[in-house]
Structure 1
Amino acid sequence: MAVLAVVASVWVFALPPGTTEEISQRIDPFGSVSRVGDAGGAPVSSASAEPLSGQQVYDQFCFACHAGGIGGAPTFGDTAQWAERVDQGMDVLMDHTINGIRTMPAKGTCMNCSDDELNAAVTYILDNLP
């Protein structure tokens, strides 16, 4: 009986103070997480949104790898590294840009970029070869 009294007293003191509603309010999350495209989050795109320029796409997405040659990416402005790729033609470059190749992910991680925006980025890179 003494053991039962001890267990009962521990159980009574283990309950947090307050009503069920007060307890629920205290343990509710402070905020919420919203990802781009979720309801209430930043819009992925809208009909009135201007397309990104080639430089904007490069600066936001391509730069991460192509500025320093990460993962074997040809470096921005290095004609020798781009020569073989340029020789394959724009159709092949765009196929690799859209679908990915080796360590380059599809669309260079710009999943919301249109093919035209990606084409503008590739053109921007090629136009900046010496």
Structure 2
Amino acid sequence: MKKLIITALAGAMAAGSGLALAERGGKEIYDSKCFACHSTGAAGAPKIGDAAAWAPRLEQGMDTLMKHAKDGLNAMPPMGTCMDCSDAELQAAVQYMIDQSK
């Protein structure tokens, strides 16, 4: 019984500290949240792989891209519908799309 309580407490502490959740990679976030618009260009979203569409956005810099990703812009919803994404995960998704569009 003592071992069970210690195990449960350790699990609760890890979950509360955020250590229990592994961050998802950019491709995983893209595949689950971003692809619907960024694979088709829906609502004016720059298509992944379209260097010309991404060029003016890249000129604005990563800080601006991240602000738009977090706050939304035009038809893009805040957080790109990934309300459970950390800042690092959101940045990984943006970086994944950039890397695929060079």
- Structure 1: distance between partners of 2:48 and 2:95: 12
Deviation at 1:49, TM superposition (A): 1.7
Deviation at 1:97, TM superposition (A): 0.3
Match of 2:92 in 1: 120
Query: One-letter code of the match for 1:87?
Result: E
The answer for unaligned runs of 5 or more in structure 1 is 1-45
The answer for unaligned runs of 5 or more in structure 2 is 1-17
Report the TM-score when normalising by structure 1: 0.63
Deviation at 1:117, TM superposition (A): 0.2
Q: Is it true that 1:85 corresponds to 2:47 in the alignment? A: no
- Structure 2: distance between partners of 1:115 and 1:57: 12
- Which of structures 1 and 2 has the bigger CA Rg? 1
Deviations 1:84-112 (A, max 9, x none): 00000000000000000000000000000
> Greater relative contact order: 1 or 2 (C-alpha under 8 angstroms, separation 6 or more)?
2
Segments ≥4 residues shifted beyond 4 Å: none
Q: Percent identity, please.
A: 49
Report the TM-score when normalising by structure 2: 0.80
Deviation at 1:47, TM superposition (A): 3.9
Give the superposed CA RMSD: 0.9
Higher fraction of helix: 2
Of residues 77, 92, 95 in structure 2, which corresponds to 1:105? 77
**Count of paired positions:** 85
